[in-house]
């Protein structure tokens, strides 16, 4: 939507979300909606929203991070998130003007192709940008989360490592770089084997419990975590400890800002 329409709508949404957080302290936290047709206006709204009770960051469309070049446009938002120790939740989705979804409804198995094949491949590209380039190097205090286990990387990383050993043997293995990168993923809609593979790749400390709604995923995700062969310590980290630590970082950043003021 054009800025004159999207900006007031985002302000209304963010004010409403904050009011819910304030009404039920400690119960909710919220990501801001941003008017992404104008990145300067989006950065200004993020700054405004982060001063509101309960707001911890913003949700961003994944297409902004498909490549290192695409991600350059997001530097103003990364800078704001870094300054406030805020979180950016990167979810599969288009930038303003992108054709979306890629697979039209006339194609066979369009739901499977869009909702799994294309989505997961796109998220893998997002993680390659975030973890295998230097784009986040200037923003050590920004918290970045990507949904759906960051794409297919837990299954593909062994091939990535093999190709690296063959093609660029002097380069650090992708698996090491993914593990070292401070990017969180969630386990939304995945089963126990995928969660096990993700723990092996990222480490349990980088995975948070994601369900994408109540009927869609709560029972599925809790069952998957219960069945995953990852140990009780990792299970507890994923269920609540990692998310609590993320929220504590945001709160610590706000306390520092108030003290400075």
pLDDT at 221 over 80: yes
Range 67-87 average pLDDT: 97
Q: What does pTM read for this prediction?
A: 0.93
> Which pLDDT value is given to residue 251?
73
Q: Which residues of 22-44 are buried (b: 16+ CB within 10 A; e: fewer)?
A: eeeeeeebbbbbbbbbbbebbbb
53 close to 29: Cβ distance less than 8 angstroms = no
**pLDDT value for 212:** 80
Exposure string for 157-176, b = 16+ CB within 10 A, e = fewer: beebeeebeeeeeeeebbbe
Sorting pLDDT into bands at 50, 70 and 90, what band is 261?
Answer: low
Give the number of domains in the chain: 1
Percent of the chain whose predicted confidence (pLDDT) is above 90: 86
Band (255; pLDDT cuts 50, 70, 90): low
Please report the pLDDT score of residue 45 as a whole number: 98
pLDDT in tens, 88-139: 999 999 999 999 998 888 999 999 999 999 999 999 999 999 999 999 999 9
Q: State how far the Cα of 45 lies from the Cα of 48, in Å rounded to an integer.
A: 5
Largest alpha-carbon pair distance within the chain?
58
Residue span of the structural domain in which 185 resides: 3-260
Which CATH number do you get for residue 120?
Answer: 3.20.20.140
């Amino acid at each position: 939507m054009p800025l004159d329409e999207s900006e007031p709508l985002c302000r209304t949404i963010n004010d409403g979300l904050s009011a819910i957080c304030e009404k039920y302290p400690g119960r909710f936290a919220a990501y801001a909606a941003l008017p992404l047709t104008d990145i300067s206006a989006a950065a200004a709204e993020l700054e405004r929203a982060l001063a509101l009770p309960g707001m911890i960051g913003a949700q961003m469309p994944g297409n902004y991070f498909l490549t290192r070049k695409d991600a350059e446009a997001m530097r103003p938002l990364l800078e704001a998130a870094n300054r406030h120790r805020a979180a950016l939740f990167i979810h599969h989705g288009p930038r303003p003007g992108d054709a979306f979804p890629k697979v039209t409804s006339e194609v066979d198995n369009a739901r499977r192709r869009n909702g799994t094949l294309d989505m997961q491949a796109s998220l893998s590209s997002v993680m390659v940008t975030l973890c295998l380039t230097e784009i986040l190097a200037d923003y050590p205090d920004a918290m970045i989360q990507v949904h759906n286990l960051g794409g297919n990387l837990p299954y593909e990383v062994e091939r990535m490592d093999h190709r690296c050993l063959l093609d660029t043997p002097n380069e650090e293995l992708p698996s090491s770089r993914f593990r070292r990168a401070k990017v969180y993923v969630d386990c939304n809609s995945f089963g126990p084997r995928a969660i096990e593979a993700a723990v092996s790749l990222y480490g349990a400390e980088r995975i948070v419990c994601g369900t994408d709604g109540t009927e869609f995923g709560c029972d599925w995700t809790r069952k998957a975590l219960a069945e995953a062969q990852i140990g009780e310590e990792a299970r507890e980290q994923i269920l609540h400890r990692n998310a609590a630590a993320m929220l504590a970082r945001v709160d610590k950043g706000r306390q520092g800002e108030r003290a400075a003021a």
